[in-house]
Amino acid sequence: MDSNEFWMWLAPVIMLPVFFAMGWFAARIDMRTVLKQAKAIPEGFYKSLDALVEHKSGVAVRELAEVVDQQSDARQSTYELHLTLGKLYRQRGENDKAIALHQRLLESPDTIEERRDNVTFELGQDFQAAGLVDRAEQIFVGLQQGSKARAAREILLNIYQQDRDWQKAITLAEELSSGEQSYQFEIAQFFCELAQLALYQSEYNKAREHVFQALAVNRKCCRANMILGDVELKQENFQAAIDAYSAIEKQNYEYLSLIADRLYDAYDGLNKATDGLAVLIGYAQTFPQLDLISVIYEKSFPIYGEVKATETAIDLVRRKPTLTGTYRLLGVLQNSIDAKWRVDVDMMRSVVGLQMQKTVMYRCRHCHFKSQVFFWHCPACNKWETFTPNRIDV
Ligand SMILES: [Zn+2]
Residue 62 belongs to domain spanning: 44-163
Cβ 296 vs Cβ 313: under 8 Å: yes
Q: Ligand 1: distance of its center to the CA of 166 in Å?
A: 20
Q: Ligand 1: distance of its center to the CA of 244 in Å?
A: 28
- Residue-level pLDDT at 254: 96
Query: Is 91 part of a structural domain of the chain?
Result: yes
Mean pLDDT throughout 176-189?
90
Q: Ligand 1: distance of its center to the CA of 263 in Å?
A: 28
Task: Read off the amino acid at residue 190.
Answer: F
Q: Between β-strands 360-363 and 392-393, what pairing exists: parallel, antiparallel or unpaired?
A: antiparallel
- Residue-level pLDDT at 12: 59
Q: Ligand 1: distance of its center to the CA of 387 in Å?
A: 7
Query: Is 2 part of a structural domain of the chain?
Result: no
- Residue-level pLDDT at 319: 86
Cβ 218 vs Cβ 187: under 8 Å: yes
- Residue-level pLDDT at 76: 63
CA-closest candidate to residue 328, choices 265, 388, 259, 391: 391
Q: Measure the CA angle with vertex 326, ends 343 and 393; round to 5°.
A: 130
Residue 52 pLDDT class (50, 70, 90 cuts): confident
Q: Ligand 1: distance of its center to the CA of 384 in Å?
A: 8
Q: How many independent structural domains does the chain possess?
A: 1
- Residue-level pLDDT at 39: 59
pTM for the structure as a whole: 0.79
Q: Ligand 1: distance of its center to the CA of 389 in Å?
A: 13
- Residue-level pLDDT at 1: 52
How many angstroms from the chain centroid is the CA of residue 18? 67
State yes or no: pLDDT of 180 exceeds 90. Answer: no
State yes or no: pLDDT of 34 exceeds 70. Answer: no
Mean pLDDT throughout 323-328?
85
Residue pLDDT, tens place only, 60-96? 888 888 888 887 766 666 788 888 999 999 999 999 9
Q: Ligand 1: distance of its center to the CA of 101 in Å?
A: 33
Cα gap 1→16, rounded to integer Å: 22
Residue 31 pLDDT class (50, 70, 90 cuts): low
Query: Is 323 part of a structural domain of the chain?
Result: no
What percent of the chain has pLDDT above 70?
88
CA-closest candidate to residue 252, choices 390, 380, 372: 390
CATH of the domain at 68: 1.25.40.10
Query: Is 306 part of a structural domain of the chain?
Result: no
Mean pLDDT throughout 172-176?
93
Q: Ligand 1: distance of its center to the CA of 372 in Å?
A: 14
Determine which of 76-80, 141-145, 299-303 has the lowest per-residue pLDDT on average: 76-80
Residue 194 pLDDT class (50, 70, 90 cuts): very high
Determine which of 7-16, 84-93, 180-189, 347-356 has the lowest per-residue pLDDT on average: 7-16
Q: Ligand 1: distance of its center to the CA of 217 in Å?
A: 23
Q: Ligand 1: distance of its center to the CA of 250 in Å?
A: 25
Q: Ligand 1: distance of its center to the CA of 72 in Å?
A: 43
Q: Ligand 1: distance of its center to the CA of 202 in Å?
A: 31
* Burial of residue 22, with CB atoms counted within 10 A of its CB: 0-12 exposed, 13-18 middle, 19 or more buried: exposed
Query: Is 238 part of a structural domain of the chain?
Result: no
Q: Ligand 1: distance of its center to the CA of 363 in Å?
A: 8
H helices of 218-272, where? 222-234, 238-246, 248-252, 260-269
Query: Is 128 part of a structural domain of the chain?
Result: yes
Query: Is 243 part of a structural domain of the chain?
Result: no
Query: Is 286 part of a structural domain of the chain?
Result: no
Cβ 269 vs Cβ 238: under 8 Å: yes
- Residue-level pLDDT at 323: 86
